Amino acid sequence: MVFATSSSSPVIPTLVLLLSLPVLFFFLAPHFLLTRQTVSLPRDEMDDLFLFQKAVAMDTANYFRGLTRLPAAKYRLSSTIRRPKIAFLFLTNSDLQFAPLWERFFSNASVNQYNIYIHADPFVKISPLEGVFKDRIIPSKRTERSSPSLISAARRLLATAMLDDPANTYFAVISQHCIPLHSFSYFYSFLFNLGRLSRNLRFSSYIEILDKEPTLWDRYNARGENAMLPEVNFEEFRVGSQFFVLTRKHALMVIKDRKLWRKFKLPCLNEHSCYPEEHYFPTMLSMQDPSGCTHYTLTRVNWTNSVDGHPHTYYPPEVSPELVHTLRKSSSSYSYMFARKFSPDCLNPLMEIAESVIFKD
Ligand SMILES: *[C@@H]1O[C@H](CO)[C@@H](O)[C@H](O)[C@H]1NC(C)=O
Ligand SMILES: *[C@@H]1O[C@H](CO)[C@@H](O)[C@H](O)[C@H]1NC(C)=O
């Protein structure tokens, strides 16, 4: 799929061949390649590392072929990708309870505009998926709270999506408790600044990055006093939501990383301060490319009266057109695109206002 396009210039195929060598190498010699640097890694992590390295190599090859020019901070939508896609990365450990709502969300989208990937905890039995979700589950592993497994799952989704389609340009991580607050076309136009193409564009990642939070010090020391040193100083440690929308450039950064992962994968000593997935992504991106991130998320979540690290869950009596309008409002210049958490039985009331409210922009 990746090498399907041909080129008329004789230089390009040669270049492509040369640049493809690392990719072939990864395909053909995984064991040789991995044994030297990673003897001590557990089997699970070896699989991941192999996947990430393959995705990085493929991305490098594609970059030079002009297939993924979009990640640069400033660019015009070049002719190389006429139809950039959004990769929707569903991260779940239960049924996709709002699948019918999402199905409607995607019903107006062209297949050239998006891809779907699902990471589903294999230790949980999930009902068969249909429609746009059919056969979209990627090779997944167990995910648990208070462990780095949710970081791994998100990285697995990012790498799989990067490998699968060079046109995947934005990567949106979504949970089974998330609902859309706008139509697909609204979201798509927003991300790609459609209608404003004449200007020099700057494409950012939408991820919450906060440095002032009362529990930050405890969370920094969750793996032991100063265990994060020297890789991460406390001044560099950030918190944010695990649900974000990243550019391809940042997705690549995330799967390339080994330095911070070495620390974030350590088990916590204090489970009550242990939310690795809320720190890893914001900390890394704020260390590597703070100006490339908006520091805001597109996913609304209600932390009022949160209990045990869980945000407010909405139940059917709360679902109304007014709620959707309220949840869209943000303190930044753009609207929220998604919201969580909703209980599964909100599906019916949400479906009832889908066309008249949620997908009406
Ligand atoms: C899809 O398009 C139709 C016709 O333009 C519109 O009535 C409907 O609300 C749209 N649905 C979604 C989910 O955007
Ligand atoms: C947030 O949750 C609280 C209950 O914890 C509720 O009273 C409030 O209405 C919610 N806010 C919004 C905007 O939904």
Tokens 């459609």 — which residue?
194
**Atom from ligand 1 closest to the CA of residue 358:** 13
pLDDT of amino acid 32 = 45
My answer on whether 133 and 219 are in the same domain is yes
CATH code of the domain covering residue 168: 3.90.550
Whether the Cβ atoms of residue 115 and residue 87 lie closer than 8 Å to each other? yes
pLDDT of amino acid 35 = 45
User: Which domain range does residue 116 map to?
Assistant: 84-294
Residue 305 lies in a domain: no
Counting ligand 1 atoms within 8 A of each CB, the residue from 108, 179, 183, 185 with the most, and so the one to mutate, is 108
**Atom from ligand 2 closest to the CA of residue 306:** 5
**Atom from ligand 2 closest to the CA of residue 302:** 1
Alpha-helical runs (H) found in the chain:
11-28, 30-38, 43-64, 99-107, 149-164, 184-191, 216-220, 248-256, 259-264, 280-288, 321-328, 347-352
pLDDT of amino acid 95 = 97
Residues in the chain with pLDDT values less than 50: 1-8, 29-36, 71-80, 198-200
Residue 37 lies in a domain: yes
Residue 220 lies in a domain: yes
My answer on whether 76 and 105 are in the same domain is no
My answer on whether 178 and 60 are in the same domain is no
Give the end of a domain, one of 294, 316, 346. Answer: 294
My answer on whether 72 and 107 are in the same domain is no
Q: Distance, CA 106 to ligand 2 centroid (Å)?
A: 28
My answer on whether 166 and 216 are in the same domain is yes
pLDDT of amino acid 163 = 95
My answer on whether 212 and 224 are in the same domain is yes
My answer on whether 11 and 68 are in the same domain is yes
Residue 44 lies in a domain: yes
My answer on whether 33 and 140 are in the same domain is no
User: Of the ligands numbered here, which is closest to the C-alpha atom of 327?
Assistant: 2
Residue 98 lies in a domain: yes
pLDDT of amino acid 31 = 46
Query: Does 359 sit in the ligand 1 pocket, CB within 6 Å?
Result: yes
pLDDT of amino acid 22 = 54
In the chain, the number of structural domains is 2
pLDDT of amino acid 2 = 40
Query: Does 110 sit in the ligand 1 pocket, CB within 6 Å?
Result: no
My answer on whether 77 and 120 are in the same domain is no
Residue 306 lies in a domain: no
Residue 340 lies in a domain: no
Residue 139 lies in a domain: yes
